[in-house]
């Protein structure tokens, strides 16, 4: 069997640090959804960066944070599981947000992992040099790091360097995934997540956290080059349902249009998207329902 540099790298950090955006940029394709809302990521997602001499599996995780509900607990559990068996772990720290207790909380968990830790300062495109220096200094106090890299997922700054540093940490081994595979997320999950991203980006306050998306139907009409998708957006209260539908249905229409454009890119065909909004009271406190949506470790 051909041996290459191969292994697993986890990206951890507090919510909103830029982990998912960085994973997408490193992979060179949209595999993870991103938004300004903390706790956007609800899945531990693996994506594959395949080269002739290496195969790196990057693991995006939900942000680690002090949990407030069953969903938060499940997300933390999922992020911590990701650390249990990786060849390297990147602690992502936002260059623009002072290092604080949130980062210390994540670092404390990382310290218990056997994997070598890397400090990755994110969002360099929107921070000046002095701020970045100060961030690095503060971060160094959290944990002994093997390497430090300052990156920007948006401008692409230092992404090749980060990949190079990580590759050096991987042992020799087989390719764990087929060479053309980009992610281990099932297509149904990706579709539901792409829809949820658009809802997150369109809503504020408590609404984004109360949203869960489930696929009802997925049919491919190969002859017509068309995918028919029916999905349900679940919220916890009637008032949230009203917000997502919007006055005269403008909000749900906007979400539908934006999601359709993304899904057409993902699937490489036209998409007919049918979205409905339903109330499922307090689903975030219901561990069984959280699993049914597939969040955290899923079913």
Ligand X SMILES: Nc1nc2c(ncn2[C@@H]2O[C@H](COP(=O)(O)OP(=O)(O)O)[C@@H](O)[C@H]2O)c(=O)[nH]1
Interface residues with ligand X (CB under 6 A) are: 13, 15-21, 34-36, 40-41, 63, 122-123, 125-126, 152-154
The distance of closest approach from Cβ of residue 73 to Mg ion in the complex, given in angstroms and rounded to an integer, is: 17
Query: In this complex, which beta carbon is closest to ligand X, that of residue 230 or of residue 266?
Result: 266
The distance of closest approach from Cβ of residue 274 to Mg ion in the complex, given in angstroms and rounded to an integer, is: 27
Select the binding partner of residue 76 from Mg ion, ligand X, none (C-beta < 5 to 8 A, by kind): none
Select the binding partner of residue 16 from ligand X, Mg ion, none (C-beta < 5 to 8 A, by kind): ligand X
Q: Would you state the structure tokens that stand for residue 75, as one six-digit string?
A: 């997300």
The distance of closest approach from Cβ of residue 127 to ligand X in the complex, given in angstroms and rounded to an integer, is: 9
Select the binding partner of residue 153 from ligand X, Mg ion, none (C-beta < 5 to 8 A, by kind): ligand X
Query: In this complex, which beta carbon is closest to Mg ion, that of residue 3 or of residue 29?
Result: 29
Select the binding partner of residue 296 from Mg ion, ligand X, none (C-beta < 5 to 8 A, by kind): none
SS3 210: helix
The distance of closest approach from Cβ of residue 291 to ligand X in the complex, given in angstroms and rounded to an integer, is: 22
The distance of closest approach from Cβ of residue 8 to ligand X in the complex, given in angstroms and rounded to an integer, is: 18
Q: Which residues make up the interface to Mg ion (CB under 5 A)?
A: 19-20, 41
Q: Is 246 left (phi over 0), alpha (psi -120 to 50) or beta?
A: left
Q: Edge to edge, what strands does the sheet with 212-221 contain?
A: 212-221, 226-235, 270-279
Select the binding partner of residue 123 from ligand X, Mg ion, none (C-beta < 5 to 8 A, by kind): ligand X
Query: In this complex, which beta carbon is closest to ligand X, that of residue 71 or of residue 227?
Result: 71
Select the binding partner of residue 17 from Mg ion, ligand X, none (C-beta < 5 to 8 A, by kind): ligand X
The distance of closest approach from Cβ of residue 209 to ligand X in the complex, given in angstroms and rounded to an integer, is: 13
Cβ-proximal residues to 59 (8 Å cutoff; 6+ apart), any chain: 8, 9, 10, 11, 44, 45, 46, 82, 86
Query: 220 - beta bridge partners?
Result: 227
Query: In this complex, which beta carbon is closest to ligand X, that of residue 31 or of residue 57?
Result: 31
Query: In this complex, which beta carbon is closest to ligand X, that of residue 13 or of residue 212?
Result: 13
CA distance 89 to 59: 9
Q: Would you state the structure tokens that stand for residue 238, as one six-digit string?
A: 């009637």
The distance of closest approach from Cβ of residue 227 to Mg ion in the complex, given in angstroms and rounded to an integer, is: 26
Query: 273 - beta bridge partners?
Result: 229
CA distance 167 to 117: 14
SS3 144: coil
109, 83 Cβ separation under 8 angstroms: yes
Query: In this complex, which beta carbon is closest to ligand X, that of residue 42 or of residue 241?
Result: 42
Query: In this complex, which beta carbon is closest to Mg ion, that of residue 41 or of residue 152?
Result: 41
Sign of CA dihedral 228, 178, 10, 86: positive
151, 158 Cβ separation under 8 angstroms: yes
């Amino acid at each position: 069997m051909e041996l290459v540099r191969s292994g697993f790298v986890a990206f951890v950090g507090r919510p909103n640090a830029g982990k998912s955006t960085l994973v997408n940029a490193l992979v060179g394709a949209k595999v993870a959804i991103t938004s300004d809302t903390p706790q956007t990521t609800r899945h531990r997602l693996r994506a594959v960066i395949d080269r002739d001499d290496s195969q790196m599996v990057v693991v995006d995780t939900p942000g680690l944070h002090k949990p407030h509900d069953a969903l938060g607990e499940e997300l933390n559990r999922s992020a911590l599981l990701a650390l249990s068996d990786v060849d390297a772990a990147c602690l992502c720290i936002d260059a623009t947000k002072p290092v604080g207790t949130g980062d210390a909380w994540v670092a404390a968990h990382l310290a218990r992992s056997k994997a070598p830790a890397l400090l990755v300062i994110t969002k360099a495109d929107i921070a000046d040099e002095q701020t970045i220096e100060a961030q690095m200094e503060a971060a160094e106090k959290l944990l002994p790091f093997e390497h430090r890299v300052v990156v920007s997922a948006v401008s692409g700054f230092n992404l090749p360097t980060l990949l190079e540093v990580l590759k050096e940490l991987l042992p020799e081994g087989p390719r764990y995934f087929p060479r053309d595979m980009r992610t281990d997320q099932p297509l149904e999950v990706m579709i539901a997540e792409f829809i949820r991203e658009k809802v997150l980006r369109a809503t504020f306050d408590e609404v984004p956290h109360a949203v869960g998306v489930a696929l009802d139907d997925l049919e491919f009409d190969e002859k017509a080059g068309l995918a028919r998708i029916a999905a349900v957006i679940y919220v916890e209260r009637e008032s949230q349902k009203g917000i997502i539908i919007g006055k005269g249905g403008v909000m749900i229409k906007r979400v539908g249009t934006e999601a359709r454009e993304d899904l057409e890119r993902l699937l490489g065909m036209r998409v007919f998207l049918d979205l409905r909004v339903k109330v499922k009271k307090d689903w975030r406190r219901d561990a069984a329902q959280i699993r049914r949506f597939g969040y955290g470790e899923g079913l």
